[in-house]
Chain A
Amino acid sequence: GAVVSQHPSWVICKSGTSVKIECRSLDFQATTMFWYRQFPKQSLMLMATSNEGSKATYEQGVEKDKFLINHASLTLSTLTVTSAHPEDSSFYICSAPRASGSYNEQFFGPGTRLTVL
């Protein structure tokens, strides 16, 4: 089956620094990827839709300048948390649709646990 990877799997950083998280589709192309945030024992909250070659679409309440998304190729999307603060500590997960037009079935990456001190 299709595989989505994320790097790093976990990161600890100081408050005020920026952190970049990579999401790659390993054996298929993804013109669209999605970024979610998940707090412990809670649901996945959609943050933004990453579109290859164009600007990301952010959900209401998500700061565009805080969470920078770049989808530079058909297999890579990056999420940069800028000037991170402790409240940004969370589990960040990306996903990609199994196939174009099959958005209901998503392949998820293993997630990145961000801890901001």
Chain B
Amino acid sequence: GQSLEQPSEVTAVEGAIVQINCTYQTSGFYGLSWYQQHDGGAPTFLSYNALDGLEETGRFSSFLSRSDSYGYLLLQELQMKDSASYFCAAARMDSSYKLIFGSGTRLLVRP
């Protein structure tokens, strides 16, 4: 089967750093993407890791370890607007290319 596990909820204070973990089990794995979704809104792309290591994009960084089937999203200098759901998504190929989404993590940023 295929699955991506994330913590259901994370709470942090404004200005802090938070890490959202994702462990995956999937065949035909290409890489790991991260998406942000505010309530009632569309998911928006944050980052993608095809290779092991850290990718940095402004306040957001994402890490992948293929040998551990593990990745994380790191959010720095948290702002209130970062309160949202965050999804890891495995890019995989079987008969066609597709994204399989994780269970999602709701991040609540408090003052």
Contact B33 A46 (CB under 8 A): no
Are B44 and A108 in contact, with the CB atoms below 8 A?
yes
Taking chain B's interface residues, is the majority helix, strand, or loop, or is none over half, making it mixed? strand
Is A78 an interface residue, CB under 8 A from the partner? Answer: no
Is B43 in contact with A49, judged by CB distance below 8 angstroms? no
Q: How many A-B residue pairs have CB under 8 A?
A: 56
Given the interface pairs A43-B103, A44-B101, A103-B97, the reply to whether A108 lies near B91 with Cβ below 8 Å is no
* B interface residue numbers (CB < 8 A to A): 30-31, 33, 41-45, 48, 50, 87, 91, 95-104, 106
Indicate if the CB atoms of B99 and A106 lie closer than 8 Å.
yes
A104 and B91 within 8 A (CB): yes
A67 lies within 8 A of chain B by Cβ: no
Q: Do residues B43 and A108 form an inter-chain contact, with CB atoms below 8 A?
A: yes
Chain A contact patch, size range: 20 to 34
Report the Cα distance A107→B42, complex, angstroms: 9
Contact B44 A103 (CB under 8 A): no
B96 to chain A, nearest CB (A): 5
Say whether A43 contacts B98, CB under 8 Å: no
Q: A44-B43, A103-B91 are in contact. List 19 more A-B contacts (CB 8 A).
A: A41-B106, A42-B103, A43-B87, A43-B102, A46-B98, A49-B98, A93-B43, A95-B43, A98-B45, A104-B31, A104-B33, A104-B48, A104-B91, A105-B33, A105-B45, A108-B42, A109-B42, A111-B41, A111-B42
Residues of A within 8 A of B44 (CB): 108
B107 to chain A, nearest CB (A): 13
A71 → B minimal CB distance (Å): 13
**Per-position binary interface string of chain A over residues 43-82, scored 1 when its CB falls under 8 Å from any chain B CB and 0 otherwise:** 1111001000000010000000000000000000000000
Which chain A positions have C-beta within 8 A of B97?
32, 103
Kindly name the residue among A4, A57, A104 whose own CB sees the greatest number of chain B CB atoms within 10 A.
A104
Residues from chain A with Cβ under 8 Å of B87 in the complex: 43-44
Closest beta carbon of chain B to A56's beta carbon, Å: 10
A-B contact pairs, 30 of them (CB 8 A): A4-B42, A34-B99, A41-B106, A42-B103, A43-B101, A43-B102, A44-B101, A46-B98, A46-B99, A49-B96, A93-B42, A95-B43, A98-B45, A103-B91, A103-B97, A103-B98, A103-B99, A104-B30, A104-B31, A104-B48, A104-B50, A104-B91, A104-B99, A105-B45, A105-B48, A106-B45, A107-B45, A108-B43, A110-B41, A111-B41
